[in-house]
Chains A and B, each alone.
Chain A
Amino acid sequence: MSNELGLKVKPVTGISPEDEARVADWINTEEYKQKNFARQALVVNPAHACQPLGAELCAHGFAETLPLVHGSQGCASYYRSTLNRHFREPAPAVSSAMSEDGAVFGGQNNLHEALENAIALYKPKMIAVFTSCMPEIIGDDVSAFIKNARQKGCVPPGFLVPHANTPSFTGSHVHGYDSMLVAILQTLTEGKAIEGRCTGKLNFLAGFDANTGNYREYKRIFSEFGIPFTFLADISEVFDSPNDGTYRTYPGGTPLDDAADSINGKATLSVAPYATSKTLVWIKEQYAGQHVSLPMPLGIARTDALLLKLSELFGKPVPASLKAERGRAVDAVTDAHQYMHGKRFAVYGDPDSLVGFVAFLLEMGASPAHVLCSKGSKKLERELQTLLDGSLYGKTGKIYMNRDLWHLRSLLMTEPVDAIIGDTHGKFAARDAKIPLFRFGFPIFDRVNLHRRPIIGYQGVINMVTEICNKFIDVKDETCEDRFFEMMR
């Protein structure tokens, strides 16, 4: 039975050290780069995951909400463990555990059983359902399944079960976040719009942002202004919960009533135009008040824009405390600029943060040389190009849309840079290129507590500049000749 491929039986030869050395050199060449960039079908080390991961992150951002993956059991374990590893926190979520018979009969029974069991065991106030590949391919009608579940009594009357279709074969985790968010808001706000009512609050959308420090920073900024707000959705307490000896299944998240009332808000502001685009379209049609979309506030100028917009929307001056903070951040960057100026960076990530990293680097006088997104749009490409074109330091930058980290590796070898901004997955390329990797993106599997330190706002600028400049100084201290090793830097 063996050898079904009909290949000739050969001796064990292994890989010779000569071949290994030859190919190791070859993959660093321009010739290899050309070959690598000619790939049509093979994707190697992509910097994005699939939709349901984003959907789960979003669902966790609502209070007492249990994410439910409708699909194979293994999918849920993959998403959960990704979030566990990044945050080093629990990520309770359930699955409808579809198997082979589901492929034949559909997943309705599985979903019904899952809803009934999950409600009994984990007592959520809301279950957010999203799909992985299997139900999408066999054509499960999740909406009808949920209606039937109510009729059958698997779900108590009035219990909320928003659902989103998040097939893994379109978009990325960023799109799944968006689809889940709009589905949850549609469910929560149904019938809640009250003519003439205004909560006086800001609805704030951060998109797929897996840095709990950022959420806390946004909240601090709103508090300094005295602006009441509703975060849509707030993962900060969920994925940065205190250790006090008690495990809580739902340690935080946006209260469902607040989210429901968000439709009567004074203003809705998104700092994730790419990760909340679908949600924003719907909000513009349905929500009271003003609707504004700003870029993610990475760097001084983009933080300024956020503060000015908040000031304008709520008729409040920028508080003196934030003005002073701005001054301190500017002081930090001017003090440190010499360690970053002219440095060349490779940058990759999700669209919203990628745009922000490029803007931040340009602001510092550094050059984003390779700008790569493994799941991006024409719109993103244009925005990035405009950014690069608008700065002296962007002139040498090139954009690589829908390329992966194996492409990036070729770029690092043929057109070297000083550092990479990305996520943990960039560490192999960084090691090969012998340059530092700054883990500002998602996920971070190999460093502790970085998801807790904000990178947005003025404090975020200080954090990023400190991390980057000190690392460059470390590198200098570790690699310079003895005669250039000195006390001061």
Chain B
Amino acid sequence: MSEVTIKKVDGITRESTQAMIDRTLEIYPEKAKGKRAPHLAPNDPTATSACVKSNRKTVPGVMSARGCAYAGAKGVVWGPIRDMVHVSHGPVGCGWYSWGTRRNLMSGINGVSNFAMQMTSDFQEKDIVYGGDKKLAVLLKEVKDLFPLAKAISVLSECPVGLIGDDINAVAKRMSQELELPVIPCNCEGFRGVSQSLGHHISNDTIRDYVIETREFTEEAGPYDVALIGDYNIGGDVWSVKPLLEECGLNVKATWTGDGEIEKIAATHKVKLAIIHCYRSMNYMARVMEEKYGIPWIELNFFGPTKIRQSLRKLAERFDDRIKENVEKVIAKYDPIMQAVLDEYRPRLEGKKVMLYVGGLRPRHTVGAYEDLGMVVVGSGYEFAHGDDYERTSPEMPEATVLYDDASEYELEKFVQELKPDLVGSGIKEKYLFQKMGLPFRQMHSWDYSGPYHAYQGFPIFARDIDMAVNSPTWKLVKAPF
């Protein structure tokens, strides 16, 4: 962090950004203003601690974009594991809303060897009154009967389960023995914590307590065995990163959890290095594996050629000359291909301004990819970050640009009106609001039904999509001539 190059944006100063924040906060009632103010600040790239407060309760009524612990467990950590059944335990809704809506793609045959489906105990009033434990036991047997190739079952609690005092952990333990199948209870009720973040943490803890060390790889361990952690295969990201790592000579033993297989995840304690993409959602298990099994971890960014190049060299440092040579060969192979992409798109995107509001790693990791395209990121923020995420973000962002944590829709709208970006990258709830303003937008949780965006396969697609969004002739039609 000591070698930060301070980037600047014309017209943006600490004062101008703070004044914009103050104007935005004017409308809030006193109490809410007091709560929101510490979450908004101009960036200080040299700051030694986070510029904004984070991981606090959502202020009621402000229109937050946050999800819940269940969303973090089902949608993020567990859902992408392809060869196990994930039971949304409780009423029908949560599982239905999170069914196929994250784009964590997976291999296998649906209903046979992958289970990207909505399996639920569909709680009714009587289950609330009498409890759902018995129903859960029956359900688990039915899962085993109907989906015999499922390697495990996760039981993901929705709000009512914790409120009525069901003991899913006891049911899971009993049924695991009876079915001879891991049944993993995850107490991720949506009211726990302040955002999806606690759901990630709870899920990591569950992997620690119920999964890791329960399997062993049959093949001999090798010096190049690595695990890819915190890549969820959105739009096929894992399918871009994994072959790249393999091209560098590494042996990717497990992917957590994009297109993941539970047995390989369970045997990950034998790898030599953990490569982390999404620090926020998976740092907990990275630390556990480091402390318990001595597996070091490395945080890498695979967005855009500059960061990919840096990341591969950083990665090579952890290995012998063979890998170092491979990495240089790989970089030499892809550099001209990437340059051709830049030659095509950069002239059309040079100097364009971007605002980001996403989650996980994207508000900082994608900055470099925009910069590769000649663009400037003038605002960034997270739905569910912690202080360590903002610490990692500040050096990436230009001086004094606005940072916003758990932004309300009102705040985003104001910032966009004032900063007039050429592109907004955020989520589905924000997309159409900004498009109605005539502003180009890309959904950056789901890659807007495109992707992959990771690594060398992903960047040409990213560049094409950004150009398509910013320069689509359709935006010119927004203003009527009469």
Contact = CB atoms under 8 A, between A and B. Distances in A.
A79 interface: yes
Contacts of B261: 12, 14
Contact of B173 (A5, A23, A27, A170): A5
B408 A121 contact: yes
B467 to A, nearest CB: 21
A32 B119 CA distance: 17
A9 B27 CA distance: 59
Given A42-B119, A114-B60, A244-B478, A79 B210 contact: no
Contacts of A20: 108-109, 112-113, 149
B143 A42 contact: yes
A4 B184 CA distance: 9
A406 interface: yes
Interface stretch (B40-48, B157-165, B331-339, B386-394): B157-165
B187 interface: no
Interface stretch (B9-17, B243-251, B297-305, B429-437): B429-437
A172 to B, nearest CB: 7
Contact of A245 (B218, B266, B437): B437
Given A121-B61, A245-B437, A27 B122 contact: no
The bracket for how many chain B residues form the interface is 35 or more
A2 B213 contact: yes
A483 interface: no
A137 B91 CA distance: 12
A319 B63 CA distance: 47
Contacts of B434: 247
Interface string B84-124: 00010011111011111100000011111100011111111
B92 A168 contact: yes
A422 interface: no
Given A27-B112, A43-B120, A94-B61, A52 B93 contact: yes
Interface string B133-165: 001101100110110110100000011101110
B480 interface: yes
A100 B94 contact: no
Interface stretch (B190-198, B273-281, B362-370, B372-380): B190-198
Interface string A155-169: 000000000000111
A233 B150 CA distance: 45
Nearest to B71: A74
A90 B63 CA distance: 12
Interface in A1-50: 1-7, 9-15, 19-20, 23-24, 27, 32, 35-36, 39-46, 48-50
Contacts of A121: 27-28, 61-63, 408, 410
A23 B32 CA distance: 56
A97 B64 contact: yes
A245 B438 contact: yes
Contacts of B118: 44-46
B275 to A, nearest CB: 19
Contacts of B436: 90, 241, 243, 245-248
Contacts of A92: 63, 409, 433
Nearest to A52: B93
A13 B214 CA distance: 12
Contacts of A79: 97
A88 B212 contact: no
Nearest to B176: A5
Contacts of A186: none
A43 B122 contact: yes
A72 B191 contact: yes
Contacts of A14: 83, 261, 263
B62 A4 contact: no
A132 B158 CA distance: 11
Contact of B139 (A41, A170, A172, A428): A41
Interface string B194-219: 11100000000000111111111110
Nearest to A102: B191
Given A5-B172, A23-B149, A39-B142, A80 B437 contact: no
A91 interface: yes
Contacts of B143: 42
Nearest to B409: A92
B68 interface: yes
B209 A2 contact: yes
A115 interface: yes
B191 A100 contact: yes
A414 interface: no
Contacts of B180: 7
Given A50-B92, A97-B59, A99-B57, 6 more contacts: A12-B215, A15-B151, A46-B118, A95-B61, A138-B163, A170-B124
16 contacts: A7-B180, A7-B214, A23-B112, A24-B112, A40-B138, A42-B138, A46-B118, A46-B122, A74-B68, A84-B428, A113-B31, A113-B61, A117-B32, A167-B125, A169-B91, A247-B413
